[in-house]
Structure 1
Amino acid sequence: MNLKSFLAMSMLVTAGCSSYQPKEYRSYDEYPVYEGKWEEMVYSPAATRFALWAPTAQEVRVLLYDEGQGGSAVRMIPMEVGESGMWNISVEGDLKGKFYTFNAKINDVWQGDTPGVMAKAVGVNGDRAAVIDLASTNPEGWENDVRPPLKSFSDIVIYEMHHRDFSIDTVAGIRNRGKFLALTEEGTHTYLGEKTGIDHLKELGVTHVHLLPSFDFSSVDETKPDVPQYNWGYDPKNYNVPEGSYATDPYRPDVRIREFKQMVMALHRAGIRVIMDVVYNHTATTEGGNFERTVPGYFYRQDKDGKFANASGCGNETASERAMVRKYMVESVTYWAKEYHVDGFRFDLMGIHDIETMNAIRKALNDIDPTIYMYGEGWAASAPQLPDDRLAMKANTYKMPGIAAFSDEFRDSLRGAWGDDSKGAFVIGRLGHANGIKFGLAGGIRHAQVTNDTLGHALVSWALAPSQFISYVSCHDDLCITDRLKTTLPGASVQELEALLKLAETAVLTSQGVPFIFAGDEVMRDKQGVGNSYNSPDEINAIDWHNKTSHRGVFDYVKGLIALRKAHPAFRMGDADLIREHLEFLETPASNVVAFRLKGSPCNDSWINTTVVLNARTEPVKISVPAGKYWVACRDGKVDLITGLGMIVGNQLQVAPRSALIVHQ
């Protein structure tokens, strides 16, 4: 939008066009800020109050419908302008079960119907909002739902999943395949008896499930449940409503809400917290979208030519630094935390947002429950329209206490750089990445033994605490680790691939950062070489649950590492000074070997002088250690915390090729 059209949009309306003449605003900073709670629909049996923040509107109407789709409005009610640009109207009578839209007249043009920007219940495909009593959507026992205990962010083990990927395979034995309710079913298993669904998660031992976008998104037509449709969901439509295609009945507004709550409650009862992937950095559409039809231009940044800026790579970028956009994000996140008991939030392209907004969200969540976790991608697709020092980029993580970022340094050092699938790194034996591994093992904090890698990549500490550092080798975006290994080491046998995946996950799960596992990596899941599988069919994206049988050794290994981490606080000290005091990297006799010792018994760990060796070479190596007696917990692709895997006496540890060794005194 250029300056001329912006001013025209906001100018005083010519006399006679409307009874109300909105104020002229020279800049978006002058737009009024509504200080009250941002609610567009408040229901009671006696009357329903509607409200819409539209400070540049001349008129606003609310239209009532009997159905969520199709048919004409049964009533059209003019709204009254109130304070700070908020239009209001109270409609008497019991409207429960009705649907509604808003339409704003701006610069003498009716913008078109929207469900508003703060809709909390919608009909099919989210085109109309619904009048609903939210209290009636609570499943039985909801008032007694509590978050599983969490002492420290460093105790977290995250499992990232897409609803459909996790449960659509018929082999899983799940009735509600691809739905929220899939994660409420207990006792599901393959025909060979392997646990699936929520029982699989409990067996694996993760503490948090990270759900790919589960709010209402645009790309799946909810009216066609029998037509194969797939999307990751990074195309937001209604931020404050669960996605209808994951519900058993997308036409009934209460069903998607209730079933999402049932899912959260079931996971909580299983001892697992729930993280939502939130995408406030862009919307699916601009022109004709909810924001643009309500307050044109305000919710988005513009470039120097007045066009929509595009740091997201999706056609727009939101303006989190503007007061009402910041308020929107804070209220939306806290709504999910309070209404749905969500325990954490992962921010897509967090680097587009400004630091002040992210800290405001952290503060608001602290007021609800300081154990709610926040993290995100500390980058953008291209340069946003704010100075670097104001953005929630990875390099600025130290300015955002209690907020974490993904470590692409650790990821790339393990498996190879993003954007070039043909190049591997440490895990397949490529030289020059050892210091990147050390950087990740230390949790991204400043450590005297971590220096730049030999390839010239800077390894600059950006985390003040290890809980601000997400350790991972694979996620939904780009090739999963199995496909990456196949691409970078063509011709490798299944046994070699299993060994390399185990080595990579050992690094992730012994890192002082917060470990993050992509769903299915623990059973050697692949996506047939498709990295950007955002709309690929189930044949590409679905987890094949046969893999849990054919790669049972990999599952048991990852499960064992998670149990090891949870049992021994030395691997999750949670304090930068403690890590610098106790984490010592050992000298290695050859390249592509990283070894470290956790000196003494940090955090009162029952193990003493725990030592970890990661050998990415194709031949065995010997590591010198202080003379003593060492019990083996992990060796040759196996983990055993009960009886152990033997004992080593002396001052040398021998480590098999392409494997990890974990011992303690």
Structure 2
Amino acid sequence: MRNWKFNHIDFSTYPNYEANDLGVFWAPEKTTIKIWAPTAKIVELRLYKDGVGGEAYHKTNLQQFESGVWSTVLTGDYEGRFYTFRVNDGEWLDEVPGIYSRCVGANGLRGMIYNPNKTNPENWINDFGPRYKSFTDTVLYETHVRDFSIAENSGIENKGKFLGFTEIGTKTAEGIKTGIDHLKELGITHVHLLPVNDFVTVDEEKPLEKYNWGYDPQHFNALEGSYSSNPYDGSVRILEFKKLVKALHDNGIGVILDVVFNHTYYAKESVFNQIVPGYFYRQKPDGTFANASGCGNEIASERSMVRRYIINTLKYWVEEFHVDGFRFDLMGILDTKTMMEIRSELSKIDPGLFMYGEGWAADQSPMAEESRAVKQNTSQLLGIASFNDDFRDALKGNHGDKKSKGFVSGLVLREEAIKFGISGAVYHPQVNSAYIESVSFHWAAEPNQCINYVSCHDNYTLWDKLKLSLPKASDEELRRRVKLAGALVLTSQGVPLLHAGVDFCRSKNGNGNSYKSPDSVNQIDWDRKNTYIDVFVYFQKLIKLRKTHPAFRMADAEQIRKHLNFCTKYQIGVVSYCLHGKTVGDSWDHIIVMFNGNENEVEITLPEGNYQVIANANDINEEGLGSSVKDEIIVEPLSMLILVRK
């Protein structure tokens, strides 16, 4: 029996291969095959007529070349045929499609030889996504392909599929816009999709029997078949995903992919270990798999061919699918050198590609923290952002504790952490990190390195968290708190991210970890948009306000330090500040923003001048709300107030 311990191996001695031609590539007259398997003694290729079932109709051995590469050429047209590899490194490993498969059959069991020219939608050559002067100009909207359209009330025909994003004119029975029309109506700039690459735990032949978010990767270069109309033909999922991208691009919306390069679902049985045992994973001193992911293994991003694999995979998604950026799951497991090489290589293709990730790990790693892309090292990772979980927890309480509270749920003495989020996690002389429980220093060098959010796919939705921590709160009170949270996220410096449906009080019925819960829990209930239309309209106006006024999205940390001033007297449960808009290109010269997290109204003394109320707890109007004010003002409970000096 194979010993899956690797402390006797020096992986740095494995040869590098620098050409970018690994994989299976079709042409009408031949198919070229190359894989990197430096420890192999025999590499066998098997061909099949179908992606599932049946016996191999042809077997041949690859020839060994330099730098650990094995290769062969199949003469003739093999389009539509399926393949696997078997490696013998002294004993036979399992049959797999290999590391570089870009097109696979049902459940990723076999790779498929395909003609990529047939997977392009009409006018694909002219497809491109939106680009902005600064990443702080973006508004991200995180959703799951299946959640977005699977509900009966979505009005979308291709429920739970890539094509659900291509349908226009979809509505609920009450006539409320859904789908892509909802995204346009709300005004977001980018859709952030939970993993769309091939994952394990949903049976593509029976896709509705199980649910998963997709953080259980199998193939990193191939798409998930349960989101396609035909999981048996791998080229269909490619075409349909490109149609998704093009539909969003045609409507001015970018596409961010959630990528999971920190672990694989299988460890010993993974495609990596069945081709090059041990190399793609970090090990503990005893040779067993390290587990900073909490999922049984962690990818060894620092090894040269692993780093090359990750970079080439990301390049493929950009060049083949025209995606606009990436969100890195558990980015804190990946090494900083790899992350900076990713930024450098992708910037050569398009400097406008946005990159951000979770600056933490789920468990201990054998790699030292100072060498990994954790949040504390964000300032070193220029052009890469981290999630501001300090702001998230300050807003609503600890993400995993359903009873804990934050600023928007009535917990006072969190004002300094709120100021930290407002200033985009960059150094600001008026923010004292000594009073912030979760952070000891300002970890972002620039505001485009800070992703501000109050909720996302994991843990409780904002609505559920507020309801659980405030069980006696009325529906109306909860609405006010959701609006207050949205106002804080969407007016703060940095980059805002919204969890899909937060704009109409999405609920998962109190489920705090719905990664494999059924559609009844995870689906977006579009009828709630009608029920909570006032919340939706408020979010819509907040986004418009942010997009119209650059004072809320400064691109430079020095601008924030100079032109954002916490200008009013401190009160418990209140955060307020002044913005000097004209100096950063805004049409408004002097802006005051106030947040009252208390359940009672507060009185705030104003700087000298006459001011127009622009926003309050329930409305936003750039032309003004009511008469002008001066000297002092009353701020309602649980509300934002924005004033502009006349």
Q: TM-score, normalised by structure 1?
A: 0.95
Contact kept, 8 Å, 1:216 with 1:236, in 2: the verdict is yes
Is residue 190 from structure 1 mapped to residue 178 from structure 2 by the alignment? no
Stretch of structure 1 that moved more, 444-453 or 432-441 = 444-453
| Structure 1 residue 590 displacement after superposition | 2.5
Structure 1 equivalent of residue 634 of structure 2? 654
Structure 1 equivalent of residue 77 of structure 2? 94
The residue type equivalent to 1:311 in the other structure is: A
Q: Residue 240 of structure 1 aligns to a residue in which SS?
A: coil
Structure 2 equivalent of residue 573 of structure 1? 554
Alpha-carbon deviations, 1:264-283, whole Å to 9, x = none?
00000110000000001000
Contact kept, 8 Å, 2:22 with 2:36, in 1: the verdict is no
The residue type equivalent to 1:542 in the other structure is: Q
Alpha-carbon deviations, 1:109-140, whole Å to 9, x = none?
11021111010000011110000111110011
| Structure 1 residue 604 displacement after superposition | 1.6
* 1:283/1:657 CA distance change after superposition, 3 Å: same
Among 198, 205, 227, the alignment partner of 2:187 is 205
Among 330, 333, 341, the alignment partner of 1:349 is 330
Is residue 467 from structure 1 mapped to residue 436 from structure 2 by the alignment? no
| Structure 1 residue 5 displacement after superposition | 5.8
Q: Residue 104 of structure 1 aligns to a residue in which SS?
A: strand
| Structure 1 residue 231 displacement after superposition | 0.3
Is residue 56 from structure 1 mapped to residue 39 from structure 2 by the alignment? yes
Counterparts in 2 of 1:67-86, with a 5 A limit?
A: 67-86=50-69
Structure 2 equivalent of residue 555 of structure 1? 536
Contact kept, 8 Å, 2:354 with 2:384, in 1: the verdict is yes
Alpha-carbon deviations, 1:353-411, whole Å to 9, x = none?
00000011101110111110000000000121111111000000111100000011100
| Percent pairwise identity | 49
| Structure 1 residue 452 displacement after superposition | 2.9
Q: 1: CA distance between counterparts of 2:437 and 2:96?
A: 52
Alpha-carbon deviations, 1:533-568, whole Å to 9, x = none?
000011111111111111000000000000000000
Among 141, 145, 162, the alignment partner of 2:144 is 162
The residue type equivalent to 1:421 in the other structure is: K
Contact kept, 8 Å, 1:284 with 1:314, in 2: the verdict is yes
* 1:7/1:231 CA distance change after superposition, 3 Å: closer
Q: 2: CA distance between counterparts of 1:432 and 1:384?
A: 34
Structure 2 equivalent of residue 617 of structure 1? 598
Among 358, 378, 393, the alignment partner of 1:397 is 378
Among 7, 15, 21, the alignment partner of 1:32 is 15
Q: Residue 216 of structure 1 aligns to a residue in which SS?
A: coil
Among 226, 245, 259, the alignment partner of 1:278 is 259
The residue type equivalent to 1:85 in the other structure is: G
Among 84, 89, 97, the alignment partner of 1:115 is 97
Among 310, 316, 337, the alignment partner of 1:329 is 310
Alpha-carbon deviations, 1:251-306, whole Å to 9, x = none?
11111000000000000011000000000100000112100000000000011111
Structure 2 equivalent of residue 640 of structure 1? 621
Is residue 138 from structure 1 mapped to residue 144 from structure 2 by the alignment? no
| Structure 1 residue 649 displacement after superposition | 2.5
Counterparts in 2 of 1:197-346, with a 5 A limit?
A: 197-225=179-207, 227-346=208-327
Q: 2: CA distance between counterparts of 1:458 and 1:2?
A: 45
Stretch of structure 1 that moved more, 144-153 or 554-563 = 144-153
Counterparts in 2 of 1:624-635, with a 5 A limit?
A: 624-635=605-616
Q: 2: CA distance between counterparts of 1:7 and 1:462?
A: 35
Counterparts in 2 of 1:581-620, with a 5 A limit?
A: 581-588=562-569, 590-620=571-601
Contact kept, 8 Å, 1:451 with 1:459, in 2: the verdict is no
| Structure 1 residue 644 displacement after superposition | 2.6
* 1:612/1:4 CA distance change after superposition, 3 Å: closer
| Structure 1 residue 637 displacement after superposition | 1.7
Structure 2 equivalent of residue 14 of structure 1? none
Alpha-carbon deviations, 1:10-59, whole Å to 9, x = none?
xxxxxxxxxxxxxxxx5101100101004211111111111111000000
Alpha-carbon deviations, 1:592-636, whole Å to 9, x = none?
100011025232200121111000111111212222222222113
Q: 2: CA distance between counterparts of 1:136 and 1:3?
A: 44
- Structure 1, unaligned runs of 5 or more: 9-25
Among 118, 124, 131, the alignment partner of 2:106 is 124
Q: Residue 237 of structure 2 aligns to a residue in which SS?
A: helix
Is residue 419 from structure 1 mapped to residue 430 from structure 2 by the alignment? no
Q: Aligned-pair RMSD on alpha carbons? A: 1.5
* 1:6/1:604 CA distance change after superposition, 3 Å: closer
Contact kept, 8 Å, 2:30 with 2:76, in 1: the verdict is yes
| Structure 1 residue 81 displacement after superposition | 0.4
Q: TM-score, normalised by structure 2?
A: 0.98
| Structure 1 residue 6 displacement after superposition | 4.1
Q: Residue 198 of structure 2 aligns to a residue in which SS?
A: strand
Structure 2 equivalent of residue 380 of structure 1? 361
The residue type equivalent to 2:319 in the other structure is: K
Contact kept, 8 Å, 1:217 with 1:234, in 2: the verdict is yes
Among 457, 482, 489, the alignment partner of 1:501 is 482
